[in-house]
């Protein structure tokens, strides 16, 4: 299955509130959370879980890095930072502009899902279309199925 077909399947599932909550639940469990009796998510591990790799993307060049070890989530960020600095980007600028997140497989999707944990992608902060550009780049490069847009709709 190609990534666009797979993304459309994820999008169809996310179009309903129950489907979107199922996606979120699968992601939360993958990343080391469990729900308490009141329905609140609580971290049960110190890391994001064994099935989760670090992910980093530069919004200016769309260069990216995906970690190789589930217990070293900063690896992708460090790898991409170093790559940008070898291309002449100032160290502070490289560190500041990279968007960091995680990648992992959920449910029965062939491609991994990607979630980027960066305030610049929140609706209240994103007036430049950054989320759409980054998610489009993730899909165009065949990296995975972006989740931020779906979660934004559920929580903002």
pLDDT, tens digit, 9 for 90 and up, residues 77-86? 999 999 999 9
Residue 80, token pair as written in the block: 């991409």
Domain of residue 83: give its range: 3-155
Looking at the structure of the chain, the number of domains it has is 1
The pLDDT, as a whole number, for residue 156 is 56
Global confidence as pTM:
0.86
The pLDDT, as a whole number, for residue 142 is 95
Q: Which residues contact 135 (CB under 8 A, 6 or more apart)?
A: 146, 148, 149
Point out the residues of the chain with pLDDT beneath 70. 45-49, 120-128, 153-156
**DSSP state string for 79-129:** HHHHHHHHTT--HHHHHHH-EEEEEE--TT-SSPEEEE--GGGSTTT--S-
pLDDT digits (tens, 9 = 90+) for 56-75: 999 999 999 999 887 777 89
Q: Which residue has the tokens 């990607």?
A: 114
């Amino acid at each position: 299955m190609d990534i666009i077909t797979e993304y459309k399947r994820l999008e169809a599932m996310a179009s309903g509130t129950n489907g979107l909550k199922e996606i979120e639940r699968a992601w939360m469990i993958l990343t080391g959370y469990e729900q308490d009796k009141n329905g609140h998510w609580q971290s049960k591990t110190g890391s994001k879980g064994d099935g989760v790799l670090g992910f980093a993307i530069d919004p200016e060049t769309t260069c990216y890095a995906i970690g190789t070890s589930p217990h070293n989530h900063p690896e992708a960020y460090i790898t991409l930072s170093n790559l940008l600095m070898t291309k002449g980007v100032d160290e502070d600028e490289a560190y500041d502009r990279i968007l960091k997140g995680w990648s992992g497989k959920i449910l029965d999707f062939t491609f991994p899902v990607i979630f980027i944990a960066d305030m610049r992608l929140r609706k209240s902060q994103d007036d430049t279309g950054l989320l759409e550009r980054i998610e489009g780049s993730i899909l165009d490069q065949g990296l995975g199925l972006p989740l931020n847009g779906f979660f934004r709709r559920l929580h903002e």
